[in-house]
Structure 1
Amino acid sequence: MHRAITVFSAAFVLAASAFLLGNTAPGTAQEPNTASDTGGGTSPVRPYVMPDSGPFHPENIPVDNFAAIEAWMRSGHSDARSPSFSHWNDAGEIPPVCAVCHSGAGFRSFHGLDGSTPGVPEKPVPTGGVVDCATCHNPRLSEIKEVRLPSGIMHPVAGVEAACMTCHQGRAAGATVSNAIGERPADTSDPELSFINPHYATAAASWLGGYGAAGYHYPGKEYSDRFFHARPVASCTSCHDAHSLEVSTETCLTCHETGNPRDIRISRQSYDGSGDLNVGIRSDIEANAQRLMNMLISYSAKVAASPMVYDGHRHPYFFADANGDGAADLTDGKPVAYKAWTPRLLRAAYNWKLVTADPGIYAHNPHYALELLYDSIEDLAAPLDIDMAMLKLRR
């Protein structure tokens, strides 16, 4: 039996070989045959297989890091049409100080990753750039060991954290406000004062809290430092996908019952006076931020004697509203910037903008946000004759 199987197998192999050598399968080509065998005939044709005809399908070709590249392409960091990168398109160039974060080339120049001397680029940077791969994957990025914050603090960083901290720290700090108001009387308007903008997307500044000193710290008050959260949260990429920037909700579920950061309470007390503990801490922050804005508008009319209005779509955001109709005054069709700032109004408005400029501050550092809002509300309450106890707020 064994010998029979062996003979059959050998015969099958020989038959298959003869077929392949003597026949050409559809879609294959034959080699020209010019060689002769010893008998004067031609040697058997040896076929070779050609690829199937049809269009080239790149999606069928495996590419290393394809998923990461696709995620990045869908993120805000790659959106060249967004105001973050297109704001200067008409000018054709980005101012050096702005290019540091609004252009990959500007970022690399700032840190000397392109071989230049570290520092703000000497010349404007051409438009069209985004936060590209070379921004965060530059081999020299790991050489950056610390980043300077607007407060003057040198914060230690490691790896890609250098990129996050450089561009999400804002452009001002509480010290900026303190230096501007100096020893001026708290409730006296001064035309030399103007709104100080902490910028936007200030997540890193919020996360570092009192240690980073991004907010205006009222004398005699203590502020929560960096929000360390809990393991496994240790850096920006602990919660945010490095390429899509989306929040990894699975990280929240390590400790919380929900993966939606907006619904996480993180505290068993109410900070906004509502007493509602069934909503996320985000609700308390938003309520106190709205209360502070109402007080800013009220203070401008009753104490500074010059009503103002806020427009988040136009810089410098706060505008004169002499008739109190809720719309900015216009001169030659352009809104009139608010010029009746008092030290008290300026520092509270700065804190309000810092807290609201970080849409994720309820996760980055809710304690610091609530402290800044409470102290700003408390500072405005006195000249407005508002009883803080009646508001039932908590710090």
Structure 2
Amino acid sequence: MHRSTKAFLFVSTFATLFVVGMSIEPRRGQSQQVEAPQAPVEPMFTMPKSGPFAPESISIPNATAIAAWARSGHADATSESFTHWDEEGKIPAACATCHSGEGFRAFHDLDGSPKGMSEDPFPVGGVVDCETCHNEGMARITEIALPTGAMHPVRGGEASCVTCHQGRASGASVNAAVDGLDDDRPDADLRFINPHYNIAAATNLGGYGQLGYQYPGKTYSGRFNHAKPVATCVSCHEPHSLEVATDTCLTCHMSDDAKAIRISRQSYDGSGDTKQGIFHDIDVNATLLMSLIEDYAVQVAGTSIIYDGARYPYFFNDANADGLADEAGGRATSYTAFTPRLLKAIYNWKFVKADPGIHVHNPHYALELLYDSIEDLARSTGRDMSEFDLLR
């Protein structure tokens, strides 16, 4: 190549680079760095298209019901209702009927087991699961045995509710314990009789069920029947979450707060206030009964009594009347000065308190049991019922 040609190419190339350089030189104030465009990175693998079966389009059968059940007490595997026997590693058959889905199915012969109480305990770790209630065999159950021995007819979905919310004792249990004993003489063999817990079925049945202690010569309200369409437990309770369906309340009542509802136009607690809910009358009379129980324990039984709702069997000795339960071996000593009269009153107090919704399930029965228990203790301690101004 000629020297002149080489010189021309050099000059041309230099000029071109200079012009290009000038064209890309940043203006004043602009960044001095220009990032080169990044080439797209190919993924290591790709998910195939899901077509019509995208996750968001797939529905889970009964998802709403399952979610509601999962947040209910029936599903709470950490609660005392299901962990009480963890140390023993097995649940007694009598308890497993309601504290284990497996035990419930065995009791009602829903799993092919002989109907009735099993002779063997059941493993821990269960809850009131779906199959406890959603079992085709439930349709065959037409009656449930009550603690009195009476057979109570059930319909629809009532069987599971009545089986486990009827309690485990009755007025007959109290009568059997005190039979032949002097009403006001302490007996070291008498022990607190526990109606059990959350006994809505027992309170709802009222005098018909006879699960409270019913004093001789008294009459008691029977089963509390709400106005239609309220006919069964699930008329008011969502069957999976167990929450109260307040819309049902508002069909007839002016409030969805059950504690504020009142139908009766008379006061039962002596206050004369008929604007507050019937819950208040029941609560006041229960407090009065406990006060009389404490007075009777000192004046008649001769030993102060302490109630502690956090420790079974709940009623303890307080021989020195210091307001603290007596202890032996590091443990509180159970009350040992029960008289028949005291045992009856305490059973009824606990019966009323064992159903947090008794003001809805059967307020009349609650008020009658409280009134009669108050009257019986007042008479034995020289109190006049007229001073309380109560109505039965």
* Separation in structure 1 between the aligned mates of residue 104 and residue 239 of structure 2, nearest angstrom: 17
Q: How far has the Cα of 1:60 moved from its partner? A: 5.1
Q: What's 2:77 paired with?
A: 80
Q: What's 2:283 paired with?
A: 286
* Separation in structure 1 between the aligned mates of residue 57 and residue 279 of structure 2, nearest angstrom: 45
> Are residue 362 (structure 1) and residue 359 (structure 2) matched?
yes
Please give the secondary structure, in 2, of the residue aligned with 1:269. coil
- Cα RMSD for the two superposed structures: 1.6
Q: What's 2:109 paired with?
A: 112
* Separation in structure 2 between the aligned mates of residue 260 and residue 107 of structure 1, nearest angstrom: 33
* Separation in structure 1 between the aligned mates of residue 61 and residue 155 of structure 2, nearest angstrom: 25
Moved more, 89-98 or 361-370: 89-98
- Aligned residue identity for 1:137: H
- Aligned residue identity for 2:143: E
* Separation in structure 2 between the aligned mates of residue 189 and residue 90 of structure 1, nearest angstrom: 35
Q: List per-residue Cα deviations over 1:230-277 (Å, max 9, x = no partner).
A: 101100000000000000111111111111111101211111111111
Q: How far has the Cα of 1:183 moved from its partner? A: 2.2
* Separation in structure 1 between the aligned mates of residue 345 and residue 191 of structure 2, nearest angstrom: 13
Q: What's 1:254 paired with?
A: 251
Please give the secondary structure, in 1, of the residue aligned with 2:301. coil
Q: List per-residue Cα deviations over 1:40-64 (Å, max 9, x = no partner).
A: xxxxxxxxx94169xx985653112
* Separation in structure 2 between the aligned mates of residue 151 and residue 271 of structure 1, nearest angstrom: 29
Q: 2:328 aligns with which of 315, 327, 331?
A: 331
Instruction: Give matches, 1:199-238, under 5 Å.
Output: 199-238=196-235
* Separation in structure 1 between the aligned mates of residue 79 and residue 210 of structure 2, nearest angstrom: 30
Please give the secondary structure, in 2, of the residue aligned with 1:188. coil
* Separation in structure 2 between the aligned mates of residue 72 and residue 195 of structure 1, nearest angstrom: 34
- Per the normalisation by structure 2, the TM-score is 0.86
Structure index of larger Rg: 2
- Aligned residue identity for 2:346: A
Q: Specify every segment of 5 or more residues in structure 2 that has no aligned partner in the other structure, as ranges.
A: 1-41
Q: Specify every segment of 5 or more residues in structure 1 that has no aligned partner in the other structure, as ranges.
A: 1-26, 28-48
Q: 2:387 aligns with which of 376, 386, 390?
A: 390
- Aligned residue identity for 2:186: S
Percent of pairs with identical residues: 59
Q: How far has the Cα of 1:159 moved from its partner? A: 2.8
- Per the normalisation by structure 1, the TM-score is 0.85
Runs of 4+ in 1 over 6 A off after TM superposition: none
Please give the secondary structure, in 1, of the residue aligned with 2:144. strand
Q: What's 1:244 paired with?
A: 241
For residues 352 and 57 of structure 1, do their structure 2 counterparts lie closer, same or farther at Cα, with a shift above 3 Å needed?
Answer: farther
Q: List per-residue Cα deviations over 1:2-26 (Å, max 9, x = no partner).
A: xxxxxxxxxxxxxxxxxxxxxxxxx
- Aligned residue identity for 2:49: P
Tell me the matched-pair count. Answer: 346
> Are residue 161 (structure 1) and residue 158 (structure 2) matched?
yes
For residues 347 and 57 of structure 1, do their structure 2 counterparts lie closer, same or farther at Cα, with a shift above 3 Å needed?
Answer: farther
Please give the secondary structure, in 2, of the residue aligned with 1:303. helix
* Separation in structure 1 between the aligned mates of residue 349 and residue 65 of structure 2, nearest angstrom: 36
Please give the secondary structure, in 1, of the residue aligned with 2:152. strand
Q: What's 2:49 paired with?
A: 51
Q: List per-residue Cα deviations over 1:308-342 (Å, max 9, x = no partner).
A: 10011111111000111111100011000011110
Instruction: Give matches, 1:82-101, under 5 Å.
Output: 82-101=79-98
